[in-house]
Structure 1
């Protein structure tokens, strides 16, 4: 089914969150006005409020991903560039920031986000019309990219979180891309490629885990998640519209994540096989936090459809990612 238009705010006049899936962009996300049973103290929100801004850039030759993450009590960022021709990870940047200083996260998906340290800088700059400019400078990697606006609306998904409170996420469809990626080995033209982004903002549990899949071209795309947010954000973009999907199942060998994955939804609207080309891995252990992160890069093939009575639309080697992630944060 197609989705209703996004509300101007995620909180009603009574402080209750407007849970559901919507099409379009919501305004500023501010959880301080939540009413019972979702209200939490200022101190609790300080340590459980998590926000991230993730951008993916893909062409036939290269795939890049960039993320800025605000953990509430600190911040972090990562970026990588993967050469699809030879399977070489050309750059794999990761940097923790200084609490309250290094990261400035957007308050909604239409704003800008910034991460900077003495030697690195990531700027996801909103132009206010649904388009963005991405500038990145770090060791062995530079990106100057422009993307958007897209022909399809954003997905807005919001819902409750077990052992946390509430969460909201905005995902884009495939966005036209241009620009350049510069690595120690070669420069890559992004013209004709596809970008997408994920902006998420929630009050999450101390222990959070998920599996995720995302891929787009300019005609279709999908976002699938299984874990802490259930099926709330599962969606299909097709013919300029965004459609809700049922819970998704991820079948794969977690001892060999570069083996093929099989992913399908319970409503019989999507069935895909994912073939990894490579992966970014990062495991962190700190005194009060830990993270296990795996993001394979590869292609999806299979079929999708917007309703059970609609014909299946074939998906052939669409570039994208899967993810297996667990955090204690």
Structure 2
């Protein structure tokens, strides 16, 4: 597709810490960071321990895309509670065939560690359920992640291969109404394993550079966020191309394109869609002219909850992206056709 050199990332390597001399190490970086620690942030030191506990949010999200399936799962540490969900979208039936979620107490029901990828772990244990995202062999620094789920009638065992992955994105910066945020986003990762649902076993087989193979992607986020937080998000990957886009509380900090092994920064993203008709087509583009896509939803997971102290209004359509991207502003357009992924419209009071 392009002549980009996969060994020449277009972003600098990550800093040793998300805090530099008491301030945010704001920027976009190509690579993984070992640990996210906000204790040295001067602005956080001026807040109470209770404020830091209630505003510190961590989550691990995994998206698994295959020819006939999309599976999304997450473990979310809210500071004062922990939550988990998993859903399975059947592309042939164009519907969500499993939608499970559960809440618990942090520490007792689970946790999300401050190591976003390497050496970290996210785990949830609930009534008849267990979700775990962890290194396959943490004692030997294995470069693969194991994803295990038993919940709501689903049994899933998948490994994500990080060994030859293009650079991860690390984005660090200020957020609207909060103190700071850091997120580690992955490119498309070969996903191998299986899941069982409704008495049937389905095999996922991912191979590097195979466009139709099963692909996983990670979103490892950690921040001191505002009580009211809203965002729009889009993500899709195959063996050669992928992107992550966000419009909302984090600005354009996490907007990037993966293309033939290179990680390329993108400008601000605009999401054009009808919130009253989220399954109608979406138009998403960036202001630097490097990405222009139409999203065709096939179905969606959605939830609306309000329990007084917390609320969430959320929809995540699953579908395909069509349009074009560029490796550089003003460069030739590279077609995107039928790339499986998700969009999201999310508002939280947490």
Matched, 1:308 2:332: no
Matched, 1:229 2:229: no
Matched, 1:198 2:219: yes
Matched, 1:6 2:27: no
Aligned equivalents of 1:37, 1:83: Cα separation in 2: 44
Q: Which residue of 1 aligns with 2:169?
A: 155
1:280 to 263, 279, 301: 301
Range with greater deviation from structure 2 (128-137 or 261-270) = 128-137
Aligned equivalents of 1:250, 1:180: Cα separation in 2: 34
Structure 2 unpaired stretches of 5+: 1-8, 207-213
Aligned-residue offset at 1:227: 0.6
1:164 to 163, 170, 178: 178
Aligned equivalents of 1:46, 1:71: Cα separation in 2: 9
Contact 2:95–2:300, Cα closer than 8 Å, also in 1: no
Contact 1:216–1:318, Cα closer than 8 Å, also in 2: yes
Instruction: Name segments (4+ residues, structure 1) moved above 3 Å.
Output: 36-39, 127-130
Q: Which residue of 2 aligns with 1:94?
A: 101
- Within-5 A mapping of 1:47-126: 47-110=54-117, 111-126=120-135
Secondary structure in structure 2 of the residue aligned to 1:31: coil
Contact 1:38–1:165, Cα closer than 8 Å, also in 2: no
Aligned-residue offset at 1:187: 2.2
Cα gap change, 1:39 to 1:309, in 2 (>3 Å): farther
Cα gap change, 1:314 to 1:39, in 2 (>3 Å): farther
Matched, 1:146 2:159: yes
Q: Which residue of 2 aligns with 1:44?
A: 51
Aligned-residue offset at 1:98: 2.0
Aligned-residue offset at 1:185: 5.2
Matched, 1:19 2:19: no
Aligned-residue offset at 1:3: 0.5
Residue-pair matches, total = 328
Contact 2:312–2:347, Cα closer than 8 Å, also in 1: yes
Cα gap change, 1:39 to 1:18, in 2 (>3 Å): farther
Aligned-residue offset at 1:188: 1.6
- Within-5 A mapping of 1:242-261: 242-261=263-282
Query: What TM-score, normalized by structure 2, do the two folds share?
Result: 0.91
Q: Which residue of 1 aligns with 2:5?
A: none
Aligned equivalents of 1:29, 1:99: Cα separation in 2: 18
Secondary structure in structure 1 of the residue aligned to 2:42: coil
Q: Which residue of 2 aligns with 1:294?
A: 315
Query: What TM-score, normalized by structure 1, do the two folds share?
Result: 0.97
Contact 1:38–1:166, Cα closer than 8 Å, also in 2: no
RMSD of aligned C-alpha atoms?
1.4
Aligned-residue offset at 1:162: 2.1
Aligned-residue offset at 1:27: 2.1
- Within-5 A mapping of 1:118-137: 118-127=127-136, 128-137=141-150
Aligned equivalents of 2:47, 2:238: Cα separation in 1: 40
Q: Which residue of 1 aligns with 2:6?
A: none
Contact 1:90–1:183, Cα closer than 8 Å, also in 2: no
Structure 1 unpaired stretches of 5+: none
